[in-house]
Amino acid sequence: MTEPILATENLTKDYGSFRALNALTLSVNPGEVVGLLGPNGSGKSTALRLVLGFLRPTNGRASIGGVDCWADSVEARKRVAYLPGELRLYDTMTGRRLVTFLAQLRGDVPGPEIDDLAKKLDIDIDRPLTQMSSGMKRKVALLAVLVPKVPLIILDEPTNTLDPTMRDELLDQLKAARDRGQAVLFSSHVLQEVEAVCDRVAVLRRGELVHVQEMSSLREGRNVSARLTGAPPALGPGGAPLDANAITTDGRLQLTFRGPLPALLDWLAKQPLTDLVIEPQGLTPIYKKFHG
């Protein structure tokens, strides 16, 4: 079994008498993208800051590659590239100088990939940061995270302020990092981007981990919503009796089917339908269950 690169055990943080994170136990494996999903104030940034050793846990622990994130934070951080939610950059530098400087701090020298990535992110890294817009600065910070090939990449709401094209480019870069065997943990409250890139999603609510979802099982499912003119069938698309909850109070047929699409279409073709919507299952119903 692969050893996780990141492991938290009962990780807890109180700010005074307020518990911002309660007993978070979560791991991230090499070659895996995990999303931390939750609304404002649910504890995402607190969890990430604990993992980075910026905050001392009230209880529990986090470790990166077996190194304790608080007791040995400098050593743990060598294994991580981090994109904070709010940037504080050294404005007098050019983008290239900043990315090189940050790489040198960990003993790396960025190679030609810095120019390839700058091109993909559509950013002139030879401009001083003072002359860049907030979105451009964000791209420089992303470069600084994507250039070093560290075991773990942590990003706090990385697509914030990026335009849709750049958002897709970033998500592609995260997939490429995963394919190289790096692990990625990122926070977000945008369901579509989490669905697009994550292997697993952890849902937080008021500091509690309320659900962990494997995305592969979700991608096999399809939500069906249809209106019938006649009585509902006795058997569902898999041949099993139709679930009593499949017919809503306003008479719509609503079900989730996990199986081959032709079997679903054959079954639907035999029903007295007046309209039909088939969608990938997606995270929305799961998210709504906790944050409706």
Q: Which residues pair with 8 in a beta bridge?
A: 26, 62
Please list every residue from 21 through 40 that binds ligand ATP, using CB under 6 A. Answer: 38, 40
**Spatial contact of 210 and 287, defined as CB atoms under 8 Å apart:** no
**Spatial contact of 209 and 21, defined as CB atoms under 8 Å apart:** no
Please list every residue from 159 through 218 that binds ligand ATP, using CB under 6 A. Answer: 189
Is 18 one of the binding residues for ligand ATP (CB under 6 A)? yes
CB-CB neighbours of 14 under 10 Å: 14
Cβ-based nearer residue to ligand ATP, 53 or 95: 53
Q: Which of 4, 28, 32, 43 binds ligand ATP (CB under 6 A)?
A: 43
What 3-state DSSP class applies to 212?
A: strand
Q: Which of 225, 216, 270 is nearest to 248 (CA)?
A: 225
What 3-state DSSP class applies to 155?
A: strand
What 3-state DSSP class applies to 271?
A: coil
Q: Which residues contact 256 (CB under 8 A, 6 or more apart)?
A: 221, 222, 223, 224, 281
Cβ-based nearer residue to ligand ATP, 156 or 195: 156
Q: Which of 41, 135, 241, 280 binds ligand ATP (CB under 6 A)?
A: 41
Is 42 one of the binding residues for ligand ATP (CB under 6 A)? yes
Q: Which of 12, 46, 159, 173 binds ligand ATP (CB under 6 A)?
A: 46
CB of 267 to ligand ATP, least distance (A): 42
Q: Which residue has the tokens 């990625």?
A: 184
Is 20 one of the binding residues for ligand ATP (CB under 6 A)? yes
x/- binding map, residues 49-88, to ligand ATP, per CB under 6 A? ------------------------------------x---
Centroid of chain to Cα 135: 20
How far is 136 from 138, CA to CA, in rounded Å? 5
Please list every residue from 81 through 140 that binds ligand ATP, using CB under 6 A. Answer: 85
Query: Where does this chain touch ligand ATP (CB under 6 A) — which range of 44-52, 89-97, 138-146, 265-273?
Result: 44-52
Residues of this chain that interact with ligand ATP (CB under 6 A) are: 15, 18, 20, 38, 40-46, 85, 189
